[in-house]
Every structure is written in structure tokens, then in C-alpha cells.
Amino acid sequence: MSVGPYNYSYIFKYIIIGDMGVGKSCLLHQFTEKKFMSDCPHTIGVEFGTRIIEVSGQKIKLQIWDTAGQERFRAVTRSYYRGAAGALMVYDITRRSTYNHLSSWLTDTRNLTNPSTVIFLIGNKCDLNAARDVTYEEAKQFADENGLMFVEASAKSGENVEEAFLETAKKIYQSIQDGRLDLNAAESGVQHKPSQPGGRNTLVNDQTASKDSCSC
Amino acid sequence: MDEVLDEVVPTEDLKKYEKVYHEQLSSGNITQKAQFEYAWCLVRSKYSGDIRKGLILLEELFHTDKEESKRDYLYYLAIGNARIKEYNKALQYVRGFLQIEPGNHQVHDLEVVIKRRMEKEGLVGVALTGGIVLGIAGVVGLALALAKKK
């Protein structure tokens, strides 16, 4: 099989949000490059990353917008929330203030995305357990109360990073299957590519077939 | 990185931050926050006129705002110039940035994309010139052939 640029059936748009220094860009880098970026400067504005994953035998391209956590970027980065199918909301388990600000990030997300947007809470830096400032239990409770998916992860060790990105995609895919997510809605954050698995071949075959019938 | 260079600001956002900026402008007291937010929207516009306006505002901020904010202005000066295909200028800002933060991957990525675009668009230029040369050669060849016949 050729790996062409359209070798996927869906595109899901994600955003990564949360306070400055919680490790948003490092999580993205770990997910797309499978490497830990040890010296990670503050993101300016937004960064972008992409990776093709597979859910239930369907290839899905994730288009991930990683937003700067610095306050001065907060207002304008809100325009990137629109049309996100998934939102990864990140805090740092060793800094309580980043956890305390979650409700404000959640309010922004709820206001600017649509009801079907999957929100996944990530407690990053779980490799630094000795410096822990937020317990797993209280974060889990916050997630449950607000209907969020939740894991503690480490961009450094890679623990649970794949899981967070993949579980979000599974949930979105499930919403599509259940008909809860309307693919035709302008801001669903999901694009469906007409080419199903083997779709490109079908297209080519169709053309040949029609050519044949013409020449008859 | 291509996506960051190609994405376009939603019109309602541009209008929103334009309004704030103009209100402050008429009251005679423009905050750096309002100027930056408006400039950031302008350099992501699809119109080069808007982008150029954004670049002027960013340059002004670069000269007046505090040191730690300069990296943001340099970055968007590079982005804006790249979007209007002023690649050499864009690279100057990139180099300026990398002098302050040599290891910044975000700006390194931007540099790679700008160079790739220069190369791609440069090659298109060469191909065009090549075509003209071929065309001229063809005419000369034809003229020679005609001259020989005589």
C-alpha cells in the first residue's frame, strides 16, 4: 500500500491548553516525535503538530494546535478553540496553582467549543511524584464532576501520553458512530475524507470502468 | 509549521481587536496589549495590506516594549514577512531571534519552512527563465535554419 498524503479517513482537530510551563509542547513533542524535549522555551502564540493514528481500523489524522500558556496570548489563542473535536487540558501535578486555574480553562473551552467536544484532563509531570502538590484522587474527582476524561502522564518518561491522545480520538470516533457528532456541522472539528480504506483504488477503478464503458 | 504560516485569522476576531485598538487610539492611550493583539491578528490576515500594517505595529512594539517581550515581536515579524514572501527580511528576524535563543525549536522550524519556500519559489523562477531562454534559442535556431535554406 502506498502511503499517500490522503491515506486516512478522518481529520480530527485538537487543541492543547493550560497554564504556562505545565508541559503542553513537551506532551505534543513526545506524542509526535516520541522524544522528550528537555530544554523547552515558552511557546510563542501557537505551535502545530500532526500524526496519523488508527482507531477501530480507521486511519485518522490528528491536527494538533498547541497554544501558548503565557497570559498575554490568552485572548487571541481563543480563536483556535473553535472547531476543536478534542481539547487536552493540562496542569502540572507539582504546581497547585496550575490545577486551581483549571476551572477558568474549562469555562473557556465550554464556551468556545461545541457540546460534542471531548475534553481530556492531563496531570503532567507524574515522574516527579516526590514533588507532588495535587493528589490523584482530587483531580480524578474534579474530572468526574465535570465529565472529563483524566490521566496523570509524563512527557518526560512518555507514560500515558499515547493513551491521552488516543483515548480522546476513540471517544470522538465513538461520537461519530453513535451519531452524536454531526460531521456536516461547520465546527465539529472533524473532516471526513471520501476515500475509505482502499478508496483511492476504488476511485481509480471507477475511472477505468467508466473509460471502458465509453470506448464500447 | 506550514500550517502556522498559512492559517488565516477569523474575520470576527480581526474586527474585534481592531475595534479595541481604534477605541484606544481615539482616546489617545494605546496599551501594548491592545496593539499586540491587533497586530497578531493583522499578520494572520489574508490581505497583504493588513499584514504590512501589522508589521509596522510590531516594529513599533519591538522598539518600545520591555526586553522579555521582544522575542514575541521578532517571531511575528518573521511570520508576517514570510507570509508576504519577503523571505530575506523574514530570515533576518529569524537570525536575530536565534542570536538571543539559539536552541529555540519553534524558530528553527520556521527557518526551515522559509528556506524551503524560497527554494521552491526560486526554482519556479529559474524554470520560467529557462523557458524563456529555450524560447529564444528556438527562435534563433529557426532563424539559422531559415538562413541556411537561403
Q: What is the pLDDT of residue A203?
A: 36
CA distance A75 to B45: 17
Q: Which of A177-181, A199-203, B3-7 has the lowest mean pLDDT?
A: A199-203
Task: Specify the pTM.
Answer: 0.85
Structural domain count, chain A:
1
Per-residue confidence band for A76, with pLDDT thresholds at 50, 70 and 90: very high
- Of the residues A15, A30, A64, A79, the best mutation for testing chain B's interface (the one with the most B CB atoms within 10 Å of its CB) is A79
Q: Would the CB atoms of A79 and B10 count as touching at under 8 Å?
A: yes
Q: What is the pLDDT of residue B28?
A: 94
Radius of gyration of chain B (CA): 22
Say yes or no: B18 contacts chain A, CB-CB below 8 A. no
CA distance A150 to A141: 10
* Identity of the residue in B3, B13, B103 whose CB atom sits nearest the CB atom of A39: B103
CA angle B23, B25, B27 (to 5 degrees): 70
Q: Would the CB atoms of B3 and A75 count as touching at under 8 Å?
A: no
What single-letter amino acid sits at A205? N
Instruction: State the pairing for strand pair A46-55/A58-67.
Output: antiparallel
Nearest-10 Cα torsion for A12, A13, A18, A21: 90
* Residue A47: partners with Cβ closer than 8 Å, 6 or more residues away: A25, A28, A65, A66, B4, B106
Report the complex ipTM.
0.83
* Identity of the residue in B1, B9, B103 whose CB atom sits nearest the CB atom of A48: B1
C-alpha cell at A152: 496523570
Q: What is the pLDDT of residues A46-73, one digit of tens each?
A: 999 999 999 999 999 999 999 999 999 9
- CA A186 to chain B, closest CA, distance in angstroms equals 14
Mean pLDDT of A23-33: 97
Q: Which of A10-19, A83-92, A200-209, B136-145 has the lowest mean pLDDT?
A: A200-209
Phi, psi of A148 (to 5 degrees): -105, 150
What is B11-121's CATH superfamily?
A: Tetratricopeptide repeat domain (1.25.40.10)
Q: Which of residues 44-103 of A touch B (CB under 8 A)?
A: 44-48, 50, 63, 72, 75-76, 79, 82
pLDDT tens string for chain B (150 positions)?
A: 899 999 999 999 999 999 999 999 999 999 999 999 999 999 999 999 999 999 999 999 999 999 999 999 999 999 999 999 999 999 999 999 999 999 999 999 999 999 999 999 885 444 455 555 555 555 555 555 545 554
Phi, psi of B28 (to 5 degrees): 80, 10
Per-residue confidence band for A181, with pLDDT thresholds at 50, 70 and 90: confident
- CA A43 to chain B, closest CA, distance in angstroms equals 8
Mean pLDDT of A128-141: 98
For residue A198, tell me if it sits in a domain.
no
Which has the closest alpha carbon to A118: A184, A173, A191? A173
- CA A23 to chain B, closest CA, distance in angstroms equals 15
Q: What is the pLDDT of residue A212?
A: 39
Contacts of A45 in chain B (CB under 8 A): 4, 40, 72, 75-76
Say yes or no: B38 contacts chain A, CB-CB below 8 A. no
Neighbours of A56 (CB within 10 A): 10
Say yes or no: B11 contacts chain A, CB-CB below 8 A. no
Q: What is the pLDDT of residue B63?
A: 96
CA distance A174 to A113: 18
- CA A57 to chain B, closest CA, distance in angstroms equals 27
For residue A2, tell me if it sits in a domain.
no
Mean pLDDT of A86-97: 98
> Which structural domain range is residue A130 located in?
10-192
The percent of residues above 90 in pLDDT, for chain A, comes to 78
Q: What is the pLDDT of residues A93-107, one digit of tens each?
A: 999 999 999 999 999
Beta bridge partner(s), residue A61: A11, A52
Nearest-10 Cα torsion for B21, B25, B27, B29: 90
Q: What is the pLDDT of residue A129?
A: 96
Which one is predicted more confidently, A135 or B143? A135
**Looking at residue A40, which CATH number applies to its domain?**
3.40.50.300
C-alpha cell at B65: 516594549
CA distance A161 to A51: 13
Q: Would the CB atoms of A63 and B37 count as touching at under 8 Å?
A: no
For residue A139, tell me if it sits in a domain.
yes
